[in-house]
Structure 1
Amino acid sequence: MSDELEDSQKEKAKLIYQHFIHAYLSRKDLQEQKTELILDTDSGALEDEAFLREVLTSLIESPDDEEFEHFLIAFAKANKQKNITLIKNPGVRDTILNLTLTALAPEFEEFEPEDFKMLFQDHLAPVLASLHPGSLAVIPNNISCHSYRAILTGLGQSVESLPLHLSDSLRSSIKSLKERFTRCSLPDSFMCKKTPVNENLTCAAVNRSHAPGNSKPSLSHALEALGEVRIANFSQTQLQSDDFVGSWFQTNIRPFLASTTPNFLFCLSSKNFSCETYQTVIKAFSSQRASMDREQQQAVYTHFIRPFLSRNDSSDPGCVSFNRGSKEWLQGNFGNFSGFAKLRDLQHLNANFSSAELLPLLTPTQVAELTLSSGALNDTDHIDRVFERLQEGDALENVEEFLTQLTANGKGPDFQPVVRDRVMNRTFSIISPNFTHFMEEDWFVWFHKILVPVLPSFSPMMIKSATANISCKNFQVVVSGMSNAAPAMSKGQRKGIGKALQGYLVKSASVINKPVCRHGIQSDAEWLEAYLGAFSQHVTYSDLKAFNLSAMAVVDSLSPEQKTELILDT
């Protein structure tokens, strides 16, 4: 009897829905009422996929552009009130998700991170179980990383709340999204994490902060605690007050800044400093740079300076307008840490950045980046300005860093020959005074790595100078390095270098055949390769005869001209 009564009630509800509610919702003049009735779980509208599609389409196509937005807001509110975390009907779920994403797709280009957050963490939460990787194709590729993370957070929250059998597609969507936005992937160090505050450790660190031999780990813990307990609670007014920020960073916590951590720095980058107070903080960190190790110095840039200046939620992104000119901008916003920035980062953060104006302030690495990107490979005047910069300070170290960076991407720069000659000449004037101090490893590094982009411009006079007082083993290192560059040299240059190498051998005739200079050399052909390399064919056969080489042993290494000489000589 009870079963019959239940069936009767279901049939009655069905008739009410079909003949009243359905007809009522189909009217074109009742947009607000449609929303209310759709969300009324007792109405049955959320069980009729076809009808729901019809009504949602009418809301989307309504002359009132805000009608569908109102529906989404009301939909989210109703779900929260009734604690609905999942629309169980898969067809209805698919319909709501797909129609919503399709309807909003044209607006995604203009969406802010907060809009994506509301959509994926709030409005669509109960239907995200229907998401699949293809659904996300409507998300533009150029959204900000903040927007990407807002979407990713929403998907992650839904995965955690879904039963395992319903989460597979959503997990695939998350994987697909991450693969698509690799530019926004952040290591754990780029997340502001809360750390447990140990009051005893903090107090002990404070007491030791002025004592000699203080413990950096303890000071780091103390700084983390200060960041979480005090700095995190600074008001907007305080963060914008230069006097307040100055008293804290340049006085109160200044002794701790040399023990900074990536987490403290990244948390700090999210604070709403003004450009003025931000630069006050930079001055405080700069004053402590000498007490930091290189890893900490790098972290100040990567975890504080770059994230803060990259924010687009301020009235002056990058603090560009706050300063006059590139020099003031660089010094004010980067302090003593500008050397850790890539040139492209500086150009990205400040569209008006003038590299030429700042050449004297750039590091050798940044100068190399500028040389590769500015057309300077064809400009001898620029090269002269570059070397004026490199000669400041430790010129040898600077030119080594500069030339190394030119090939950092695995590809050598395409110098015009006249520019390459200028680079080689200026480089040689810097490195040649140091030849007398070179060890075998130095000769190898310079002639097989650092000088490779410009070795084709190494002249016979340079060879003569470089090998004037060199050991036979180091001479072999130079010859093998020069041989690698020989194909890019003119025939005349190869001949001149061959003559210069021959000059060394003649001068060293008394030692080059001693056991120490023939170590690893098993034949005359190997001797020829070791001491003349690719230049052996650019000296005369009569010159080679002076070294008492077996004609039969070296015949395969001779040029046609040398073989002709050999035949005529016999």
Structure 2
Amino acid sequence: MAARIPLTGLDRERGSDLDGEEAATGPSHFIGRLQFLYPASQGLPQTFHLMAPGSGSKLGGQEENPLCTQAPLLHCHLHAVGGLKGLNSLYLNFTLSQYNEIYIFGKKFLNFQLSLSGSLGIACAENANGTHEWIINNFFRFMAQFNYSDFTELNKNFSGFEVLDLLSPQQLSGLTVNSDALNNTDKISQILNTFTSRSFSDLVAYFTQFIHDTQSVGITAIQNTTVRDTILSIIIKLLEPQFPTFNTSDYIDWFQTRLHLLLPSITGNELNTIPTNITCKSYQAIVKGLDKLYPDLSTTQQEDIYNFIVKYLTRQLDSTASACTARTIGSTVWLLNNFGRFRSFITYRNLTALNKNFIGLDAVKFLTVSQLGELAGNNGTLRNADDVRKIFRDITSATVTEFINTFSTAVNQVGDYFNQF
């Protein structure tokens, strides 16, 4: 059975016109038209018979591909009215290997035409006026098989921003990385706003390619913070309708991998779009992804994330009587899984309010000086010399004053509590 692939940007633009053309044509019809248009192309009709759907042809690489041997014999007019256009009418019926062979043929033909264009630097410029006509007339529905770099190599004046609606998600990623879009809020907004009218799978495909493309060119951070802020804001709005359908693996995928370059721009606005009824595992996946970026976040951002954490855990406690403590082994694991490094913002008293079984002495390595002071000041915490040594092990001359202050406050609060009775 022939492989089926998603509709291209050209399908979206032309709609049912192409379907009508496809229904009215077939391999024999196309080859007859090709013979009429270009009778001097000896052997070319047989070549396309080999490529016809259902032919069973197993063409090899470029050197064995009969299409490639015929490419230099064609001219741009034939390419526009025959060539790929003839194959275009059968687009949805080819196998994946045939798509690849057609790509090789098209690329070789257009490279040959580019070599004839001289200083013009545009393959088959006579086929079009501007980028929009050029890409349609030279690539047809097969444009999805080409890389964005193919377009810019074959047409030095190619402007991806003129054909955003025609480009595939992968090609849009190429445009993002290989233009000045990562330094221009208007241009990046134009690219990303195309996904408001596309399927969610297109957004996934875009980010898959974006991760690959940024790694390929050595982009490890988006330096323009305004652009980064803009990207994250748009993407979160696109993700918001999907969040309720996400499972844990989806949250891991997005917050630990796909959004990695963008999360340094996270604010309370984006965090507020995340549903509060997600599972503890999904919530912990988000916290883990944000924790990786802790040093790159401002204090305000860290506080925003802490507020998100407390809001979620409080809701869990109120609705399930458990702040994600189920199936958690020990206080340290619970603290790290649910707070990460954002634990530094919470008071020890609030920790024990969220988890009544929290044992501070089991997690002293991960508590702040202030939290240790509160812990030591709680009545009955220090039962022996070993407990004292555990707490004072990490107290230094630089932090002892802070410790004493919080210890004194905690002791006074305990005293005030008992004085009520």
TM-score, shorter chain, exceeding 0.5: yes
Task: Summarize the alignment of residues 69-468 of structure 1 with structure 2, pairs less than 5 Å apart.
Answer: 238-239=39-40, 253=49, 256-257=52-53, 259=55, 261-263=58-60, 266-271=65-70, 272-279=73-80, 280-301=82-103, 303-311=104-112, 315-316=116-117, 318-394=123-199, 396-409=200-213, 410=215, 411-468=219-276
2:316 to 498, 508, 513: 508
Task: Summarize the alignment of residues 46-85 of structure 1 with structure 2, pairs less than 5 Å apart.
Answer: none
CA distance in 2, matches of 1:290, 1:253: 16
Displacement, 1:237?
Answer: 6.0
**Is contact 1:326–1:357 with CA below 8 Å preserved after alignment?**
yes
Displacement, 1:497?
Answer: 0.8
Match of 2:360 in 1: 551
For residues 115-161 of structure 1, the C-alpha deviation after alignment (integer angstroms, 9 at most, x for no partner) is xxxxxxxxxxxxxxxxxxxxxxxxxxxxxxxxxxxxxxxxxxxxxxx
Displacement, 1:430?
Answer: 0.9
Displacement, 1:331?
Answer: 0.9
Match of 2:349 in 1: 542
Match of 1:562 in 2: 371
Displacement, 1:405?
Answer: 2.0
Q: Secondary structure at 2:150's aligned position in 1?
A: helix
CA distance in 1, matches of 2:164, 2:113: 28
Q: 1:495 to 1:378 in 2, by over 3 A?
A: same
**Is contact 2:240–2:274 with CA below 8 Å preserved after alignment?**
yes
Indicate the structure with greater helix content. 1
CA distance in 2, matches of 1:560, 1:298: 63
Provide the identity percentage.
24
For residues 325-383 of structure 1, the C-alpha deviation after alignment (integer angstroms, 9 at most, x for no partner) is 11111111111111221211111111121222222221222111111121211211112
**Is contact 1:286–1:337 with CA below 8 Å preserved after alignment?**
yes
Displacement, 1:397?
Answer: 2.0
Q: Secondary structure at 1:344's aligned position in 2?
A: helix
Q: 1:452 to 1:314 in 2, by over 3 A?
A: closer
Q: 1:418 to 1:512 in 2, by over 3 A?
A: farther
The one-letter code sitting in structure 2 at the alignment partner of 1:268 is L
Match of 2:330 in 1: 523
Q: Secondary structure at 1:356's aligned position in 2?
A: helix
**Is contact 1:424–1:455 with CA below 8 Å preserved after alignment?**
yes
Displacement, 1:407?
Answer: 1.8
**Is contact 2:182–2:227 with CA below 8 Å preserved after alignment?**
yes
Q: 1:236 to 1:404 in 2, by over 3 A?
A: closer
Q: Secondary structure at 1:407's aligned position in 2?
A: helix
CA distance in 2, matches of 1:237, 1:422: 52
**Is contact 1:367–1:386 with CA below 8 Å preserved after alignment?**
yes
The one-letter code sitting in structure 1 at the alignment partner of 2:74 is F
Displacement, 1:420?
Answer: 1.2
CA distance in 2, matches of 1:310, 1:330: 14
1:496 equivalenced with 2:304 (yes/no): yes
Q: 1:299 to 1:524 in 2, by over 3 A?
A: farther
1:484 to 292, 299, 321: 292
Residues paired across the two proteins, number: 334
CA distance in 1, matches of 2:182, 2:286: 26
Q: 1:378 to 1:315 in 2, by over 3 A?
A: closer
Displacement, 1:485?
Answer: 2.4
**Is contact 2:53–2:93 with CA below 8 Å preserved after alignment?**
no
Displacement, 1:459?
Answer: 2.2
Q: 1:341 to 1:413 in 2, by over 3 A?
A: farther
Match of 1:121 in 2: none
Q: Secondary structure at 1:522's aligned position in 2?
A: coil
The one-letter code sitting in structure 2 at the alignment partner of 1:474 is S
**Is contact 1:406–1:413 with CA below 8 Å preserved after alignment?**
no
For residues 38-78 of structure 1, the C-alpha deviation after alignment (integer angstroms, 9 at most, x for no partner) is xxxxxxxxxxxxxxxxxxxxxxxxxxxxxxxxxxxxxxxxx
**Is contact 1:464–1:504 with CA below 8 Å preserved after alignment?**
no
Q: 1:311 to 1:438 in 2, by over 3 A?
A: same
The one-letter code sitting in structure 2 at the alignment partner of 1:309 is L
Q: Secondary structure at 1:544's aligned position in 2?
A: helix
**Is contact 1:537–1:559 with CA below 8 Å preserved after alignment?**
yes
Unmatched segments (≥5 aa) in structure 1: 1-218
**Is contact 2:127–2:138 with CA below 8 Å preserved after alignment?**
no
CA distance in 2, matches of 1:380, 1:304: 38
Q: Secondary structure at 2:52's aligned position in 1?
A: helix
**Is contact 2:222–2:262 with CA below 8 Å preserved after alignment?**
no
Q: Highest relative contact order (Cα 8 Å, sep 6+), 1 or 2?
A: 2
Query: Which range moves more in the overlay, 262-271 or 334-343?
Result: 262-271
**Is contact 1:326–1:354 with CA below 8 Å preserved after alignment?**
yes
The one-letter code sitting in structure 2 at the alignment partner of 1:351 is K
**Is contact 1:372–1:413 with CA below 8 Å preserved after alignment?**
no
The one-letter code sitting in structure 2 at the alignment partner of 1:372 is V
The one-letter code sitting in structure 1 at the alignment partner of 2:202 is N
Unmatched segments (≥5 aa) in structure 2: 1-26, 376-406, 412-421
CA distance in 1, matches of 2:240, 2:234: 10
CA distance in 2, matches of 1:482, 1:239: 64
Q: Secondary structure at 2:212's aligned position in 1?
A: coil
For residues 143-193 of structure 1, the C-alpha deviation after alignment (integer angstroms, 9 at most, x for no partner) is xxxxxxxxxxxxxxxxxxxxxxxxxxxxxxxxxxxxxxxxxxxxxxxxxxx
Larger-gyration structure (1/2): 1
